[in-house]
């Protein structure tokens, strides 16, 4: 088969096309290049993470990342599946752009693998959202066989990475799949992707009997209720300010500084988030995109953010002044505020995301296992990596059980 050439100057308006059995494929590097007809065929924008405004805001505010979108068409030339991916640079000898916890562990053994490039960053193609945990990598219409679609996608993405040499892609990573999705996503293993567990998403199911935050507190065991009340007392002097489209601009500089404190403290990042993105997200999603800042007198000491969609609240990035965090229990206050907001807005599921698993479990969250699929472009390297990565396990933590009634878990 002869593949079309890939003109980097024209790709914004001209898709790259491939053909696989029963499906045709197009790759785009700009959301605006995808036609209205395709969006109508897909009908995927009820999911905020596949809404063009969300994707466009990520693309617009992160020019250092290469964004691509893959559309799968059926035999009738109707769009039936949508995939979103980004290409990031991973510095082997630096944790500046470190790639999640399992990549941090790879760093320790990378020097032992001679196939890793040493003179340039490792380029990783991420199928999913580089900034949000969860299954946000692809949308497949309900009437289609999802395993068949993923097979067609796997073939197309391997052709893409093989033929587009100028992109210098070293590896592909598909993230983050819940256990109930593995029967479908196991298709990736047929194409030499290696399956690994990563840090869990911490999930709190909001009890429908909780009509307000006091009901949540009443459901806690005495020890955890005392802890919650202490944190609320410590943070009582903090003023919360909802961030709107109107006041977002004036707070961004302070938010950026606080985000950087958290980002630096984490020691690893999938990619660096540009807080300017918040302006576009608030403009596009209004009250369904939540941002709230915390102030001690005239000083911003923290902020939280999150997306409300389909009866779920997904916690996104936070910013914290760590010098004042212990004194004013800033982070704990944020966790309780997420819960209060979830109850007030009749949310069913609160996704706290990864990191700080133990403290999140102390407010009632339980771990939801997540799986990734990883494939290095070179077969020998892929096999060697598997020997190392199969021993990588999520970081252990002590799960807390704060509720009196196990039905609240």
The reported pLDDT for the residue numbered 119 is 57
Rounded-to-integer distance, Cα 224 and Cα 228, Å: 6
Residues of the chain with pLDDT under 70: 1-21, 91-120, 266-270, 388-392, 406-409
The reported pLDDT for the residue numbered 182 is 97
Calculate the dihedral angle through the C-alpha atoms of 265, 309, 330, 337, rounding to the nearest 10 degrees: -160
Q: Are 408 and 363 in contact (CB under 8 A)?
A: no
Place of tokens 């001690």: 296
Tokens of 88: 């990031």
Superfamily of segment(s) 207-347: Gcn5-related N-acetyltransferase (GNAT) (3.40.630.30)
Pairing of strands 171-177, 366-376: antiparallel
Q: Report which of 276, 264, 273, 275 is spatially closest to residue 322, judged by C-alpha positions.
A: 264
Rounded-to-integer distance, Cα 17 and Cα 6, Å: 10
The reported pLDDT for the residue numbered 12 is 41
The reported pLDDT for the residue numbered 238 is 98
- Tens-place pLDDT, residues 325-372: 999 999 999 999 999 999 999 999 999 998 899 999 999 999 999 999
Place of tokens 């020890």: 223
The reported pLDDT for the residue numbered 2 is 29
Please provide the size of the chain in residues. Answer: 409
Neighbours of 254 (CB within 10 A): 18
Q: Under 8 Å CB-to-CB from 377, ≥6 apart: which residues? A: 161, 162, 169, 170, 171, 172
CATH no. for 16-198+370-389: 3.40.630.30
HEC assignment per residue over the chain = CCCCCCCCCCCCCCCEEEEECCEEEEEECCHHHCCHHHHHHHCCCCCHHHCHHHHHHHHHHCCCCEEEEEEEECCCCCEEEEEEEEEEEECCCCCCCCCHHHHHHHHHHHCCCCCCCCCCCEEEEEECCCCCCCCCCEEECCCCCHHHHHHHHHHHHHHHHHHCHHHCCCEEEEEEECHHHHHHHHHHHHHCCEEEEEEEEEEEECCCCCCCHHHHHHHECHHHHHHHHHHHHHCCCCEEEECCCCCHHHHHHHHHHHHHHHHHHHCCCCCCCCCCHHHHHHHHHHHHEEEEEEEECCEEEEEEEEEEECCEEEEEEEEECHHHHHHHCHHHHHHHHHHHHHHHCCCCEEEEECCCHHHHHCCCCEEEEEEEEEEECCHHHHHHHHHHHCCCCCCCCCCCCCECCHHHC
The reported pLDDT for the residue numbered 110 is 53
Q: Report which of 93, 172, 89, 165 is spatially closest to residue 137, judged by C-alpha positions.
A: 172
φ, ψ (nearest 5 deg) of residue 270: -65, -45
pTM value > 0.75: yes
Domain boundaries, the chain: 16-198+370-389, 207-347
Q: Report which of 314, 281, 312, 293 is spatially closest to residue 250, judged by C-alpha positions.
A: 293
Q: Are 399 and 203 in contact (CB under 8 A)?
A: no
């Amino acid at each position: 088969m002869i593949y079309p050439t890939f003109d980097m100057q024209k790709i914004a308006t001209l898709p790259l096309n491939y053909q696989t059995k029963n499906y045709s494929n197009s790759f785009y590097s700009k959301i605006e290049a995808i036609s209205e007809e395709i969006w109508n065929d897909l009908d995927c924008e009820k999911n905020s993470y596949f809404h063009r405004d969300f994707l466009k805001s990520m693309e617009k505010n992160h020019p250092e990342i290469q964004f691509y979108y893959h559309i799968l068409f059926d035999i009738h030339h109707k769009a039936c599946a949508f995939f979103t991916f980004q290409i990031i640079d991973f510095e082997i000898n630096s944790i500046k752009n470190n790639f999640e916890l399992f990549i941090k562990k790879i760093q320790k053994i990378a020097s032992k693998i001679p196939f890793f490039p040493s003179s340039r960053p490792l380029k990783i193609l991420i199928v999913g959202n580089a900034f949000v945990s969860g299954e946000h990598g692809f949308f497949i219409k309900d009437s289609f066989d999802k395993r068949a679609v993923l097979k067609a996608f796997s073939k197309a993405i391997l052709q893409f990475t093989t033929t587009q040499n100028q992109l210098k892609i070293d590896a592909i990573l598909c993230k983050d799949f819940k256990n109930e999705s593995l029967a479908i996503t196991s298709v990736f293993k047929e194409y030499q992707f290696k399956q690994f567990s990563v840090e869990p998403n911490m999930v709190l199911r909001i009890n429908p009997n909780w009509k307000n935050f006091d009901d949540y507190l009443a459901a806690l065991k005495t020890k955890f209720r005392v802890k919650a009340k202490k944190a609320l007392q410590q943070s009582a002097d903090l003023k919360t300010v909802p961030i709107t489209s109107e006041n977002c601009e004036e707070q961004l500089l302070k938010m950026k500084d606080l985000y950087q404190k958290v980002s630096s403290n984490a020691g690893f990042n999938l990619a660096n988030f540009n807080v300017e993105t918040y302006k576009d997200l608030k403009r596009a999603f209004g009250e369904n995109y939540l941002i709230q800042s915390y102030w001690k007198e005239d000083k911003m000491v923290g902020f939280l953010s999150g997306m409300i969609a389909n009866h779920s609240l997904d916690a996104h990035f936070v910013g914290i002044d760590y010098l004042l965090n212990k004194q004013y229990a800033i982070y704990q206050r944020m966790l309780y505020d997420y819960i209060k907001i979830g109850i007030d807005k009749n949310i069913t599921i609160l996704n706290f995301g990864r990191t700080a698993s133990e403290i999140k479990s102390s407010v009632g969250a339980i771990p939801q296992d997540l799986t990734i699929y990883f494939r290095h472009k070179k077969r020998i390297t892929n096999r060697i990596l598997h020997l190392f990565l199969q021993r990588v396990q999520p970081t252990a933590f002590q799960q807390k059980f704060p509720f009196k009634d196990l039905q609240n878990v």
